[in-house]
Structure 1
Amino acid sequence: MNWLLAPLAVLLGAALTTQVATNTELGKALGNSYIPATVNMASGLLVTMILTWALTSEWPSREMVREAPWYVWPAGGVLGATYLTGNILLAPKLGAGALVALIVAGQLIFSVLLDHFGWFGFAQHSAGIARLAGCCLMIAGVFLISRF
């Protein structure tokens, strides 16, 4: 792991948790848990379009577009909307600590599976004892965070 980039990843985690909090707060203020996901996706689309336009010098060819698997086109948006809406609905019921712990545990466990089986184009990395122990420790951490 590149330890110089680790603090940036930690900041991304803080940003994600802040996103959950602000979306939940907006849902409470509006009396609707679904509108914040729409606002989030719309503002994200605008920012992403601006960044893409400003930072992209070369665009993919038609062949590159055609070669991409069909499922990758809708997957990000569908999964993103599901994630956002799920966060908004679950955050008031679980609390920030338990929700984020469970999400991170789910991400970690599924990422170990992705690596182990080489799914979605990831290089294959076996789920050895150390990785499995890490998953178990993460589950233990989720238990501790959500119980106390």
Structure 2
Amino acid sequence: MFVFLAFTNGLFAVLARVVNAALSDHVGSLRGSFVNHATGLVAVATLLLGGAGSGALLITNVNPVYLSGGVLGVLVVAASNYAVRHAGSTLFAVLILTFQLLGSAIIDHFGWLGQTPITLSWTRLLGLCLLIGGAILVVTDQEAIEEVIADAPAAEKS
């Protein structure tokens, strides 16, 4: 079940980035992020009002750090809206995935934000090193980078 959820989440994340980047071409990166989150708010409100989900909507006794996810989400979407348009979805996905996994490994290792600590074993470290090596290959693909630059509108080149 978790593999299926990870697969669909990964697919939806890429689709969302590409759709949001196209939207931001028309309205700008920050406005695109606003539209993204406003439509997401309507969708989740509809689900909650329709009876989906569980738990109270009260946020009393919640560590304020845990409320920062929405702000972080806005920043992620706004940055993605800009970066996907300029770097392409593959390069951006490789970079964001690499840094997500590195950040996740650090959070897991130290058990930050209430997570159960999971030691960074040599096999996990090896996997992260291989991932970083793959990311370096994608980032240094000079031919692909030159193609993106050549296809960029003249206003963006200057």
* Superposition TM-score tier, normalisation by shorter sequence: 0.7 to 0.9
1:127 alignment counterpart: 120
Unaligned residue ranges in structure 1 (runs of 5+): none
State the partner residue of 1:33: 29
1:82 aligns with: 75
Q: CA RMSD in A?
A: 1.7
The answer to whether the 8 Å contact 1:105/1:139 transfers is: yes
**CA separation of 1:131/1:88 partners in 2, compared to 1, >3 Å: closer, same or farther?**
same
Q: Is the 8 A contact 1:101 1:142 kept in 2?
A: yes
1:63-74 equivalences under 5 Å are 65-73=59-67
Size of the aligned set, in residue pairs, is: 140
Scaled by the length of structure 2, what TM-score is found? 0.81
Identity, in percent, stands at 27
Which amino acid letter does the alignment assign opposite residue 51 of structure 1?
L
Q: Aligned with 1:67: secondary structure?
A: coil
2:12 to 7, 10, 15: 15
Shift of 1:29: 2.9
Q: Is the 8 A contact 2:29 2:79 kept in 1?
A: no
The offset of 1:45, in angstroms, is 0.5
How has the CA–CA distance of structure 1 residues 48 and 118 changed in structure 2, closer, same or farther, with 3 Å as cutoff? same
For residues 122 and 109 of structure 2, what CA distance do their matches in structure 1 show? 12
Deviation at 1:147, TM superposition (A): 3.1
Tell me how far apart the structure 1 counterparts of residues 119 and 2 of structure 2 sit (CA, whole Å). 24
Q: Which amino acid aligns with 1:25?
A: A
CA gap 1:57/1:94 in 2 versus in 1, 3 angstroms:
closer
Cα-to-partner distance string for 1:71-107 (whole Å, 9 max, x where unaligned): 212x111100000000011112211111011111111
Q: Which amino acid aligns with 1:49?
A: A
Give, in whole Å, the separation in 2 of the partners of 1:85 and 1:120: 24
2:95 partner SS:
helix
Which residue is 2:2 aligned to?
5
